[in-house]
Amino acid sequence: MKTYFIIALFLLNYLNVQAQDEAQWLRNPCISPDGSTIVFSYHGNLYRVSSNGGDAVAITTGDAYDGYPIYSHDGKTIAFASDRYGNFDVFTIPAEGGLSTRLTFNSANDFPNDFTVDDQEVLFGSGREAPAASVRFPSPRLFLNLYKIPVTGGRPILVSAAGAESARYNNNGTKIVFQDRKGYEDDLRKHHVSSVTRDIWIFDVNKNTYTQITNFVGEDREPVFNNNASSIYYLNEKNGTQNLYKMDLSSKKDVLLTNFEDFPVRHLSISKNNTMAFTWKGSIYTFSEGSEPRKISIRVKDDSAYETIKNVDINDVSEFKVSPNGKEIAFVNRGEVFVTGVDDSRTKRITNTPEQERMVNWSPDGKTLLFSGERNNSWNIYKVTLTRPEETYFFASTTLKTEPLIATSAEEYQPKYAPDGKKVAYVKDRNILQVLDIETKKEVTILPEGHNYSYSDGDWDFEWSPDSKWLFVSDQKGFGFTRNTALLKADGTGDFIYPVNSGFGENEPHWALDGKMMVYASSRDGEKSLAYNGSSESDIYAVFLDQKAFDTYILSKEEYELFKEKEKETKKDSEEKEDDKKKDKKNAKDKKVEDLKINLENLDYRKIKLTINSSNISGYVLNKDASKLYYLSEFEKGYDVWVTEPRTKETKILAKLGGSPSGIQISEDNKTLFLSNNGQIIKLDADTGKTTNIKIDGDMLLDAAGERQYIFDHAWLQLKKKFYDPNIHGIDWQMYHDEYAKFLPYINNNYDFQQLLSELLGELNASHTGGRYTHRAKNADVTASLGLLFDENYTGDGIKISEVLSGGPLDNAESKIKKGAVILKINGEEIKADDNWNKYLNNINGKNILLTVKNGTTIFDEKVQPVSMRMQSELMYKRWVKLMEHKVDSLSNGKLGYVHVRGMNDGSFREVFDNVMGKNRDKKALVVDTRFNGGGWLHDDLNTFLSGNLYLKLAPQGNLLKGGESLTRWTKPSIVIMSESNYSDAFIFPYIYKQNGLGKLVGMPVPGTGTAVWWERQIDPTIVFGIPMIATIGAEGRPTENLQVNPDIEVPLPYNDFLSGKDPQLQTAVKELLSDIKE
C-alpha cells in the first residue's frame, strides 16, 4: 500500500510541476527566419512558440520521437527527424502544422541540417557508405555524408562525403559551414583538450574545397553564418564553459558573446536578422549582439507530459534461484524480485520499487528470501518472510513481510545463507567478504580489503561449506584479473588456504560430497586465445580434502561396484546389531552434519580433471554423489547442456539449447536441472534431457519515470564510488547531480534521458563515459544492401554502378553485372531519375529479388539475394584494407608489408599474425596501421609481437634457413600510423610502442583515453552507461587519461586528399620506413 501511495504522490507532484512551471529540458530550438517564432522538441514532439515566450502549440503528436527541427528560409516549412519507421528519417511539415511528408527511406539515421537557399531541397546528414574514390577508413557510424533531397520527395544527391555535422549554408548557397568529427569520443563530453575535439570548416560548394576555420584544441561546435556570411557564430569552451562566440572570417579574430558558467550552451540557430536561439540548462534563450541573453518562459499545456504506469510482460529473467524444496523459483526481471511455482504458473511480485533489486537467495528451510536492493544511496540486504501460517509458498501468498537485514551507508550485497541458517555471508563495499551472525548481529571479516577488485558488481563468488564453518572463495590476492580459490574459516580466524593456486586461475568454486571434495573451473589444460585477454577453454576440476573420498572416487566402474557391495555388507552387519529401529530412524533424522576435516598433506596428488574435453563453459553443477557432472558448453552454435560421468568418462549432450544459457542449478532430489536462456527459465529432466519452459503467469506495473530517476541516481553513485580517480577530477559531483536531476520530471522518453545522462557524465571530462540508448522498434524498416557502390553524380533513370564489391552477393561467376551498368528496376519497380530507390530495398534482407539491368545496349534480368547493411560495411572494410595493402606495395616496390589492426582483441590479433607472418613474412619492414581502432586489451601482445629480435639462426643439415628465432614475433623494422580516432587501448599501444623504442609514430596526436571501462547495462536494457574504473599509469607516474601521445611525424589527412584517393599519412609512413631500412 505504501508503494502505491508513493507512486500516486509522485504522479501528482509530476503533473503539478508540469501544470504550474515552465517547460524544461527543451531540445534543438530553431528560430524562424523572421525571428518571431521558435520551434523546438519536447517530450518527443515538435512545438511552436513565440520568441517572446508563452504557451507552446504542438506541431506533431504521437508515440514516435520527433526532433531536430529546421526552418525553411521562407518560414513556411519545417524539416525534422522522426523514428516513426524505426530509425530516424527526414520529414517535412507545414510550419503551422498539418500533414507531414516522409523524404528519406534508408534505415541509416538521417538528420536535417538546412534548406537550400531556394527552399527547394533539404540538406541532411546520413550514415551511409562513402563513394568509391574515398580512401578514408569506412565508418558510416562516424562520418555522415551530406545529401540534398527535394522537399517534395525524390532522389538524394550527394553534396559531400567529408563527414560533416551541423552543416549550414551561407546566404547565397555557395558555401557550407560545418563541424567535423574525428573519432569515437562521446558527443557530450566536456572540457577535454585533445586532438579529437571538433573544429569548424567551410566547404566551398562550387570549388569543392575545404578550409579549416578554427584550431582551438578544445571543442568548436554548431557554427552558423551571419546574414551576410562575413562572420560565423559558434560554440566554444575557451573560457572553461561552452559559450557563444563570433568569428570574423576575414581576420579570423573571435569574440566571446556570452558568459554562462558551469553548464554548456547548446543547439544554436539563427534568424535572418542575426537573432539567435540556443539552450542553456534545459531552457531556451534568445540573443542579439549588443544585448544580454534573454531566457524565454515557455508553457506546454497539453497532456504530453503525462506518462502512464504500464503493465509489461515478465519475459526477461536476468537471474533466478530454486528453493530448497524445489517447488519455487525466485527470479529477477527488470530489477524486481518475483517468485513463481515450478509446477504452478502463479507468480508473486515480491518487490515493487523504482530501484534495482537482485542477487536472490533462499534460507535453508525455504521460509525466508534474501535479496539485495539499492536504496537510500547504497546497496542493502533485505529479507522477505511469509506472514500467514497457513500459507507455505511465496508464489501463492497474499501478504509478505519485507525488512532490512543489513542496511548501512556501506555497499552490502550478494547475501548467501549458511547451510545451518544461522549466518549470512555477503560482500561489503564490493571487495570485502563479511559474515553476519543473524541472532547476535555480530560480524566478522573473512576476506579483507586489498584482495579482490570488483570490475562489475557481483563478479566474484563464494560458497559455504556443508558444516557452515568454512567458505570456498574466489581471491585475486591483490593482483587483479586472475583469481585463485581460497579456503577461509567462517569465524575469520586462521590462515588463508589455497588448495590449488594455479597460474591459470580458478573460478566458480563449489563443494561436493558433503565437503570432502572441492570443485572449480580452470583454463589450465584448455586452448587459449592468441591474445592474453581473449577467451580460453576451461575444464572442471576437483580437489579432495579427504583421502578416502579420493580413493573411492577414482575407482573404475567395476571396482566401485565391488566397493559398494562390500560397503553394503558392512552396513547390514552394523544394522543387525541395532535393536531399536525407531531409535535408528530418529538418530538418522537428527544426525548432525559432520565437521569438515581438512587434510592438506599431498593435496596436489588428490586433484583430478572431471571433464574429458576442454571447452567454453558457462556454468556447471554436480549431482549429490558427484557421479554426474552437468555443464553448459559451447562446442557448436550456442551453448548446450552436457553431462559426463567422471568415473567412466562417458560424455554426451543432454539437451540442445543454443543461445546463451546460464545459472544452471539442480534440485535436491537430483532429478531436475534448471537454467535460464534468452530470458526464460527452463527445467530439464536430468536423465532424459527433456526441456520444459517454466510458465510465469503475471506481469508488472512499470513506473518508467521512477525507473529513469533510479538509473540517473544509480549512474551518479556508480561514478562516485567506482571512478578511477577518487577525487572525481576535482569537480563538484554533488552539485551536478542536483542540477541535472531537476530535469527528470520533464522527460518522458529515453532519447532525452540518454542526453541528460550523457550531459551529467560528460562533466567528468573522461573517456568511456556517457549514456547509450538502443531504440527497439517493432516492424522497423531495414534497408538491404546489394554489395554495390553507386555513381553519386549520375542523374539519369536507374542507378549507375561504380563498383561491384568483392565478396558481395553479385561477386560471383554467374553475374553479368559490372561497373558502369545501370539498374533500371528492382522487383519490377521502375527507377526514374527522381525516384528515391532506397524504399525498394526495405525489408528484403535474405530474400531473392530481381534486378533489371542495362549494360551498354544489353538489358537483362538477374536474381540476387541482398545482404544486411552490417554485412556491406564488412565488405567495405575488407575493400579498404586491400586498397591500403596495394598502396603500400606499390609505393615501396614490394619492399614493405602492411597490416591494419582493427581492434584490440584476439580476432584482430589473429588477423595481424596471419597477415604479417604469412604474406608479409619476406618483407623488409612493416607498416602497422592503427587508425580508427576503438580499443580492447591487446597492447602488450601487440608490442611484444613487434619487439622480436633475431637471436638464433637455424640450419638443418648445414642449410641456413631464412629468419630464425624468435619464430613467433616480427624481428624487422616497423612503423605505426595513428590518428585522432585511436581510442582506449588503441591509445595505450602507440604510447608504449614509443616508450619501448620500437619505431616511429606517424599521423596525428592520439587523445589520452587509456582507462579500462565497464559498460553497465541497466534494468531498462535499452540503456547503458560507461564507468571508467581502472587507470593505467605510465612512465610519467600519472594516469594516462587525458595524456595525449604525439607522433614523431605529424601528418593530417585533408578532406580533398582522401576524397580523391590520396592518403598522405600512409605515404609518409612508407617514405619514412624506406628511409630507415636504407640506413
Known catalytic residue: 357? no
- How deeply is 845 buried, as exposed, middle or buried, from its count of CB atoms within 10 A (0-12, 13-18, 19+)? middle
Are 201 and 211 contacting, i.e. CB atoms less than 8 angstroms apart?
A: yes
Of the candidates 43, 191, 714, 768, the residue annotated as catalytic is 768
Q: What's this model's pTM, rounded to 2 decimal places? A: 0.94
In total, the chain counts a number of residues equal to 1079
Are 389 and 342 contacting, i.e. CB atoms less than 8 angstroms apart?
A: no
Are 315 and 700 contacting, i.e. CB atoms less than 8 angstroms apart?
A: no
Of the candidates 134, 269, 676, 984, the residue annotated as catalytic is 984
Long-range contacts (CB closer than 8 Å, 24 or more residues apart) made by 488-491 = 488/433, 488/446, 488/447, 489/446, 490/418, 490/423, 490/425, 490/435, 490/444, 490/446, 490/464, 490/465, 491/435, 491/444
What whole-number distance in Å separates Cα of residue 420 and Cα of residue 470? 12
What whole-number distance in Å separates Cα of residue 1021 and Cα of residue 1027? 17
Q: What share of the chain is helix, strand, coil (3-state, %, to 5)?
A: 20, 35, 45
What whole-number distance in Å separates Cα of residue 876 and Cα of residue 886? 15
Q: Which amino acid is at 1018?
A: Q
Question: CA distances (Å), 834 to each of 109, 156, 799, in order?
Answer: 21, 9, 11
Q: Do domains 22-305 and 788-867 have the same CATH topology?
A: no
Question: CA distances (Å), 388 to each of 348, 367, 393, in order?
Answer: 15, 11, 10
What whole-number distance in Å separates Cα of residue 544 and Cα of residue 984? 44
Largest CA-CA distance found in the chain, in angstroms, rounded: 112
- The set of cell numbers assigned to 1047 is 607522433
Are 278 and 267 contacting, i.e. CB atoms less than 8 angstroms apart?
A: yes
Q: Which amino acid is at 676?
A: S
Are 380 and 371 contacting, i.e. CB atoms less than 8 angstroms apart?
A: no
Of the candidates 185, 237, 357, 1041, the residue annotated as catalytic is 1041
Render pLDDT for 969-998 as a digit per residue (tens, 0 to 9). Answer: 999 999 999 999 999 999 999 999 999 999
What whole-number distance in Å separates Cα of residue 996 and Cα of residue 54? 64
Render pLDDT for 37-82 as a digit per residue (tens, 0 to 9). Answer: 999 999 999 999 999 999 999 999 999 999 999 999 999 999 999 9
Is CATH 3.40.50.300 correct for 872-1008+1044-1078?
no
What is the per-residue DSSP string for 583-598?
HHHHHHHHPPPPPP--
Q: For position 19, what pLDDT does the model report?
A: 44
> Which run of H or of E encompasses 415?
strand 412-417
**Which of 83, 268, 244 shows the shortest CA–CA distance to 168?**
268
The b/e string for 831-840 (b: 16+ C-beta within 10 A; e otherwise) is beeebbbbbb
569 Cβ contact partners less than 8 Å away, ≥ 6 residues apart: none
Q: For position 594, what pLDDT does the model report?
A: 86
What whole-number distance in Å separates Cα of residue 1003 and Cα of residue 956? 43
Q: What are phi and psi of 746, to 5 degrees?
A: -105, 10
Render pLDDT for 365-424 as a digit per residue (tens, 0 to 9). Answer: 999 999 999 999 999 999 999 999 999 999 999 999 999 999 999 999 999 999 999 999
Render pLDDT for 837-890 as a digit per residue (tens, 0 to 9). Answer: 999 999 998 899 999 999 999 999 999 999 999 999 999 999 999 999 999 999
Are 974 and 758 contacting, i.e. CB atoms less than 8 angstroms apart?
A: no
Q: Which CATH architecture has domain 22-305?
A: 6 Propeller (2.120)
Question: CA distances (Å), 553 to each of 193, 607, 648, in order?
Answer: 64, 11, 11
Q: What are phi and psi of 807, to 5 degrees?
A: 85, 0
Return the sign of the alpha-carbon dihedral for residues 23, 24, 28, 31.
positive
- The set of cell numbers assigned to 731 is 569537480
Looking at 808-963, list the stretches that DSSP marks H as alpha helix, in order from N- to C-terminal side.
869-891, 906-916, 939-946
What whole-number distance in Å separates Cα of residue 1019 and Cα of residue 925? 50
Residue with cell 578532406: 1055
Q: Which stretches in the chain have pLDDT values below 50?
A: 1-19, 584, 588-589
- How deeply is 738 buried, as exposed, middle or buried, from its count of CB atoms within 10 A (0-12, 13-18, 19+)? exposed
**Which of 408, 418, 333 shows the shortest CA–CA distance to 370?**
418
Known catalytic residue: 43? no
Q: For position 1, what pLDDT does the model report?
A: 35
What whole-number distance in Å separates Cα of residue 461 and Cα of residue 631? 18
- How deeply is 103 buried, as exposed, middle or buried, from its count of CB atoms within 10 A (0-12, 13-18, 19+)? buried
**Which of 724, 725, 758, 728 shows the shortest CA–CA distance to 740?**
758
What whole-number distance in Å separates Cα of residue 268 and Cα of residue 288? 12
What whole-number distance in Å separates Cα of residue 226 and Cα of residue 814? 57
Quote the DSSP letter at residue 770: S
Return the sign of the alpha-carbon dihedral for residues 794, 795, 796, 798.
positive
Q: For position 845, what pLDDT does the model report?
A: 86
Known catalytic residue: 676? no
Q: For position 590, what pLDDT does the model report?
A: 52
What whole-number distance in Å separates Cα of residue 539 and Cα of residue 522? 6
* 788-867 CATH choice from 1.25.40.10, 2.30.42.10, 4.10.640.10, 3.40.50.300: 2.30.42.10
What whole-number distance in Å separates Cα of residue 980 and Cα of residue 188? 17
Rg (CA), the chain: 33
- The set of cell numbers assigned to 134 is 574515398
Residue 259: other Cβ atoms inside 10 A: 11
What whole-number distance in Å separates Cα of residue 541 and Cα of residue 719? 38
- The set of cell numbers assigned to 743 is 530535469
Residue with cell 569537480: 731
> Which run of H or of E encompasses 55?
strand 54-55
What does the domain layout of the chain look like in residue ranges?
Answer: 22-305, 711-773, 788-867, 872-1008+1044-1078
- The set of cell numbers assigned to 480 is 587483479
Do strands 1012-1017 and 1023-1030 pair parallel, antiparallel, or not at all (unpaired)?
antiparallel
> Which run of H or of E encompasses 571?
helix 557-576
Q: For position 6, what pLDDT does the model report?
A: 39
966 cis-preceded (ω within 30 degrees of 0) = yes
Looking at 453-553, list the stretches that DSSP marks H as alpha helix, in order from N- to C-terminal side.
547-553
- The set of cell numbers assigned to 858 is 544489353
